[in-house]
Amino acid sequence: MRTLAIAAFICLFAGSAFAQEATCAVQVTEKKLSGAARTSFAKSCCDKQAAEKKLAGAAKTSFTDKCLKDAGG
């Protein structure tokens, strides 16, 4: 029973982490932005997420690049 509870907790945590990662892509799609507005919004959204995660240097660059690619910015 304990193993099942641990597995459920891990799935719940992983699911919420994935939902947070997809936030910028979802927001860009919902706002129906295109062109420079889409790129600018996606960049600011990804930068904000990187700051919330307290990333710096190469980790921030890598995260931001992947975020922008996922958001289509």
- Count the Cβ atoms, other than its own, within 10 Å of residue 67: 23
Q: Model confidence at 23, in pLDDT bands (50, 70, 90)?
A: confident
pLDDT > 90 in the chain, percent: 47
For residue 73, the model assigns a pLDDT of 62
Domain ranges of the chain: 2-71
Q: Which residues contact 46 (CB under 8 A, 6 or more apart)?
A: 24, 63, 64, 67, 68, 71, 73
10/61: higher pLDDT: 61
Report whether 68 contacts 41 (CB < 8 A): no
pLDDT at 34 over 50: yes
Report whether 27 contacts 41 (CB < 8 A): yes
Give the pTM: 0.65
